[in-house]
Amino acid sequence: MRRFFIVLLFFAAAFSNAIGRALPLTVKDVCLMLRSGFSSEAVQRELSVRHFAESFDAATEKALTDAGAAPALIDAIKNGSYASSAEEAESALAQRDARAQKSALENERLRNLNTHYQAQRARDLAAPRPLEAPSVVADLVKGDLVCWKNGSVARFDDEALAKKKLIALYFSAHWCAPCRKFTPQLIEFYNRVAPQHPEFEIVLVSADRSPFGMETYLRETQMPWPAVDFAKLPGKAALKKYSGADIPCLVVLDASGKVILDTYVDKKYVGPEKVLTALDAIFAQPPATAVTASR
């Protein structure tokens, strides 16, 4: 949790630096820092740079006390030692409100996406259509997939891929340290979700520099999903167009090839973890619930 808040502060600081200085902290920010493991002294150091955006009242004092603030920190805030100017406070609160509104809109978008996906899944389960057109992604990799099996790279039977409703393209490489850090998390997610959701699959699109590099990656991680054969990668420009500039990159497509979830949002890298969070939200809802919600 502390690491999460550090990342949160980093992005807040990066945004506010663009307009000249870091945003002042609110009581909510301070309480979250304290509950995340920051000492009162560390919070005071942060306040000395960024200041405090809100007025002090009984509710503020109670919130700080409940969060574990030291008396010295409470007294300093109460005495106005870190008070920001009225203009700074108003600007900070307005920008936080704007970000909260943007976040609410994104959450609503994800809820609508989940409702649409679950309703479609319910219809598919109720009335399967065996003559459906094959997946666009399956067509792009047909006959060109391998997997790690019994201690070596083996040909992957990709017939089942044509029936998948969601296919995640995982752009990654063994030489990429952030990729090696994220891949175990993705494997844990896959092993937990895939058995309950046979309509979902992941395909590795390697950015390794040699067949040995990709094979080492498959072997060391015991990667449970298929990968595009390294020898066939030069001819897969249609797949690589889905990747952004940086890896690891996880892009989820529906059967038609439409991007459902992406590691990039408005061309900004937000990380593959956000894709997993959104997928978890989609998979967490039973089809019946989604159908009811869509009416």
Residue 168 or 101, more confident: 168
In degrees rounded to 5, what are phi and psi of residue 241? -65, -20
- Taking only the tens place, the pLDDT of each residue in 183-231 is 999 999 999 999 999 999 999 999 999 999 999 999 999 999 999 999 9
Using the predicted structure, report yes or no on whether residue 173 has a pLDDT greater than 90: yes
Average pLDDT of the residues in 144-161:
89
Q: What percent of the chain has pLDDT over 70?
A: 80
Can you give the pLDDT at residue 88? 74
Can you give the pLDDT at residue 293? 34
Can you give the pLDDT at residue 19? 36
Using the predicted structure, report yes or no on whether residue 177 has a pLDDT greater than 90: yes
Residue 273 or 282, more confident: 273
- Taking only the tens place, the pLDDT of each residue in 60-93 is 999 999 999 999 999 999 998 888 877 776 777 7
Q: What angle do CA 90, 93, 96 make, to 5 degrees?
A: 150
In the chain, what are the domains?
Answer: 2-84 (no CATH), 130-294 (3.40.30.10)
